[in-house]
Each structure stands twice: as structure tokens, then as C-alpha cells.
Amino acid sequence: MKEELKIQNLAENFHCGFVAIIGQPNVGKSTLLNGLLDFKLSIVSPKPQTTRQRVLGIVNQPNAQIIFLDTPGLIIPKYELQSAMMKIANRAMEAADVLIVMADATSPTDFDFIRDMVTQRLASMGLPMLLVINKIDKVPKPELLPMMDGYLKLDIFKEVVPISAKKNDNVERLKSVIAQYLPVAKPFYPLDQLTEQPERFFVGEIIREKVFIHFDKEIPYSTEVQIEEFKERGGSKDFIRALIIVERDSQKAILIGKKGEALKRVGQHAREDIEKFLGRGVFLELLVKVKEEWRKDESSLRNFGYSD
Ligand code: GDP
Ligand code: MG
């Protein structure tokens, strides 16, 4: 009833729509989603391909509901997991009313990549596209104007917005720019909703983020996390048991570490963030299991939720 009342009181020209954030790996898409929401929803690491699934985050403003879709970075896939990730990114673009194409101000190759991608793939979608130049905290100001000019001259972007997602610089302005390009429509989600994915998805993501941060080489890419048990216990901490899956025994040994110390550290850091995310205490149990070549195995990928 309360919700209905609120909706009846909405501004007459209320805007609502889906906005996909796309770009190469590591440009800062997930950092931007979190900045837009002012909440850490999507996992972030200094390594590329941290995000594997579409992550949906809802921003409510007096005149608009903006539904953001964070996506895996665009790459040429080399194995089945990456192909599934690219399908996920493509589906997010197809669902979008507006595309945010993100460039990294510190990456000299981004311009050519974006020009080619936009002219070859995106232009035909007929969606309004905004170009966001991220990480402006890392480049001298005089370099920024020619960069913006280069993108504007392509004549395909409605606007070019320079930001620093990490320092939250110009992110508020980006929000108001985006709202203008959304269709006039009623809110799609209740006004107090932040996402549509379940808590257990984000718990798994937080554990995966810690593996991305604490381990190198192939380990983060060979790791998947499954939540085996998630019990809310009245009056006591939640009980969560998660399985960390890797591809080889040698990776399992590294993840566990001497006397289990490496795994303990992952568990400790993950638990702190999970508690922040859930807003309540948890008891986290981690187990490590080997599943050979899961990244190339269609049925494992289906089990882990990487398919239609
Ligand atoms: P994604 O792969 O595009 O989702 O990129 P992430 O959001 O995971 O960020 C990749 C890396 O870039 C992380 O180490 C971030 O902290 C960093 N990063 C993101 N935005 C900025 C920014 O505005 N400035 C700087 N200096 N670093 C950033
Ligand atoms: Mg990401």
C-alpha cells in the first residue's frame, strides 16, 4: 500500500530504463557501478576479468529509476567460460535502453578499440550511447581535452563524460546525464530495492574477489565459488559454507597454504566484507575442491550458472 502511494506520487515525466556499462576488462566498470549506487555491490580487483556475470544495480532519483547492468569486460574468448561471459555481456547490451561505453584514460589502445567496436557492432543497435572516460585522476588535465575531442568527433556518442570512478569525481553528473536519455516509464522495481540477485550470489562473489586479490597467475581464473549452505539462525550469526573450486591439486595446495594459513586469510577478509554486505554477523566455513578443466566443461559451467 505504501509502495503504491509512493508510485502514484511520482513525477509526471518519470524516466526508467536499463543502462549497460560496457568496455574492455579493467577500465573500472564495476568501480563505477559501486560509485553510482554508493554501495559496494560488484566485486573489484586490479586484475582483468574479475566480473563474470551481469550485476544489476538500481539507482532511484526523484525523477528517474536507473537500472545499471555491470558486465564482464569485452574480450576475444579463448575458452568456454570466456565465451559464456561474452554472451552475458551481449545479452546485457541487448536488454539496455542506453549504453555506457567506458574508456580508460590511461590506456592508449582504448580509442581504437572503442571506435572499431562501436562502428562494427554497436551503431546498428540504434541505442543512445554515452562515452565515459574513467581514471582521470591518473592523467594530467591538458591530456583530457584532446581525448574527449577525439571521441566527440566520432559523432556517435550523445555525450562524453570524464570521471574518476574511484575518487567519485563527476559521478553524480553522469547520473543526471544518463537519466535524460531513458524512456519515460514507471519504475520497474520497487523504490527500496538495490538489486535483483540473491544474497548468496554476492556472498560467492565476495569470496571470489578475495581469491583475485590474494593469488596470482592462473589461480583467480581457475577459481569458482559455490555456496553450499546459507542458514540464517535467529539470535545467532548466519552459517555459510562455501566451496572454492579450482582446476588442479597444485592450485588447491597453494590456496590452502602452509598449515591452512592462506585459506584462513581469504576467509577472514571475505567474512569481514560479507558482514558489511549483509549487515549482520556470519560464521564462514570454506572448503577447497578440485574439478579439472571446469572452465572448458559445458555442464560444469551450466551448474555454476554461466548459461541461459
Ligand atoms: P572492470 O574490470 O572494468 O570492472 O574494472 P574494476 O572496477 O574491477 O577496476 C579495475 C581496477 O581499476 C581496480 O584496481 C580499480 O581500483 C581501478 N580503478 C577503477 N576506477 C578507477 C579510477 O577512477 N581511478 C583509478 N586510479 N583507478 C581506478
Ligand atoms: Mg568488473
**212-223: per-residue pLDDT in tens?**
999 999 999 999
pLDDT tier for residue 121 given thresholds of 50, 70 and 90: confident
Average pLDDT over residues 259-282: 97
**pLDDT at residue 118 above 90?**
no
Ligand 2 centroid to Cα of residue 26, in Å, is 7
pTM: 0.95
Ligand 1 centroid to Cα of residue 135, in Å, is 7
Q: Where are the beta strands (DSSP E) in the chain?
A: 15-23, 55-61, 64-70, 98-104, 129-134, 159-162, 224-231, 238-246, 282-290
In this prediction, residue 123 carries a pLDDT of 87
128, 160, 211 from 40: Cα distances, Å: 27, 25, 17
Identify which of 21, 41, 44, 110 to mutate to test ligand 1's pocket (most ligand atoms within 8 A of the CB).
Answer: 44
Average pLDDT over residues 138-145: 94
Average pLDDT over residues 63-86: 96
d(CA 144, CA 152): 12
90, 113, 114, 126, 210 from 121: Cα distances, Å: 11, 11, 10, 10, 34
What rounded mean pLDDT belongs to the chain? 94
Backbone angles phi, psi at 97, to 5 degrees: -95, -25
Looking at residue 78, its amino acid is K
* Of 45, 48, 65, residue with least CA distance to 57: 65
Average pLDDT over residues 117-134: 92
**pLDDT at residue 18 above 60?**
yes
CB atoms within 10 A of CB 192: 10
pLDDT tier for residue 5 given thresholds of 50, 70 and 90: very low
User: Going by CA atoms, what residue is nearest to atom 26 of ligand 1?
Assistant: 135
Task: Report residues whose beta carbon is within 6 angstroms of any ligand 1 atom.
Answer: 25-31, 44-46, 50-51, 73, 134-135, 137-138, 164-166
% pLDDT > 70, the chain: 97
pLDDT tier for residue 1 given thresholds of 50, 70 and 90: very low
% pLDDT > 90, the chain: 90
Residue corresponding to grid cell 502511494: 5
pLDDT tier for residue 2 given thresholds of 50, 70 and 90: very low
* Sheet of 224-231, strand order: 224-231, 238-246, 282-290
d(CA 21, CA 26): 12
26, 103, 168, 275 from 249: Cα distances, Å: 29, 38, 42, 30
Cell triple for 118: 562501436
Backbone angles phi, psi at 93, to 5 degrees: -65, -40
pLDDT digits (tens, 9 = 90+) for 226-246: 999 999 988 899 999 999 999
CB atoms within 10 A of CB 4: 8
In this prediction, residue 7 carries a pLDDT of 55
Cell triple for 289: 575442491
CA 191, 127, 168, 88 dihedral sign is positive
In this prediction, residue 108 carries a pLDDT of 87
79-102: string of b/e by CB count within 10 Å (b at 16+)? Answer: ebbbbbbbebbeebbeebbbbbbb
**pLDDT at residue 129 above 60?**
yes
* Of 213, 245, 203, 242, residue with least CA distance to 44: 213
pLDDT tier for residue 4 given thresholds of 50, 70 and 90: very low
**pLDDT at residue 6 above 80?**
no
> Would you list the DSSP string of 116-157?
HHIIIIIGGG---EEEEEE-GGGS-HHHHHHHHHHHHHTS--
pLDDT digits (tens, 9 = 90+) for 41-68: 999 999 999 999 999 999 999 999 999 9
pLDDT tier for residue 181 given thresholds of 50, 70 and 90: very high
d(CA 43, CA 56): 12
Looking at the CA of residue 31, tell me the nearest atom of ligand 1.
Answer: 7
Looking at residue 98, its amino acid is V
* Of 104, 175, 174, 178, residue with least CA distance to 144: 104
Ligand 1 centroid to Cα of residue 46, in Å, is 7
**pLDDT at residue 8 above 60?**
no
**pLDDT at residue 177 above 80?**
yes
pLDDT tier for residue 290 given thresholds of 50, 70 and 90: very high
* Of 219, 173, 232, 224, residue with least CA distance to 201: 224
Say which range, 112-121, 135-144, 202-211, has the weakest mean pLDDT.
112-121
* Sheet of 15-23, strand order: 55-61, 64-70, 15-23, 98-104, 129-134, 159-162
